[in-house]
Amino acid sequence: MGKKKVFAIPRHYENVGIILRQMRLNAGLTQRAVALRLDYSSAQFISNFERGIAVPTLRKLKLMVEIYGVPVEAIVAPIVEAERMRLMHDLQKEDKDGKLKKPAGPRAS
């Protein structure tokens, strides 16, 4: 296997995508079949979710869990971790001078 791709925009949802893919495969469904059940015009939406490029809306995620026949808890932990990683990344961004940006504090009234 080759090097892991490096993306310009961090893909914090890769692990969520891996889990969604495994759930779909365990349910014996194709990306197209899931896309149709979610009222998407293309399987590309499901592919994007499974590659961590995009995340489904809460409504669609709930439907996916129902379609796959898994408990909600099966997807909650990976989503919480992905959000934690995204937040950490955003809080540690550097400004144009290479200095760490400080998170904005509460505003004085």
Classify residue 19: in a domain, yes or no. Answer: yes
**Within a domain: 45:** yes
Give me the residues of the chain with pLDDT under 70, please. 1-12, 94-109
104 in a structural domain: no
Question: Residue 75: which domain range?
Answer: 14-91
Tell me the three state secondary structure of residue 103. coil
Q: Is residue 103 situated within a structural domain?
A: no
Residue 59 is predicted with a pLDDT of 94
Does residue 43 contact residue 32 with C-beta atoms inside 8 Å?
A: yes
Alpha-carbon distance 23 to 75, whole Å? Answer: 10
Q: What total number of domains does the chain contain?
A: 1
Beta strands in 21-62 (DSSP E): none
41 in a domain, yes or no?
yes
Residue 73 and residue 62: Cα distance in Å, rounded?
Answer: 11
Ramachandran angles phi, psi of 58, nearest 5° = -60, -40
Q: At a CB cut-off of 8 Å and minimum separation 6, what does 86 contact?
A: 10, 12
* Angle, CA of 47, 73 and 70, to the nearest 5°: 60
pLDDT digits (tens, 9 = 90+) for 76-104: 888 888 888 888 888 887 666 666 555 55
Does 34 fall in a domain? Answer: yes
Question: Does 47 reside within a domain?
Answer: yes
* CATH number of domain containing 84: 1.10.260.40
- Residue 2 falls inside a structural domain: no
At residue 30, the pLDDT reads: 98
- By the 8 A CB rule, do 33 and 42 touch? no
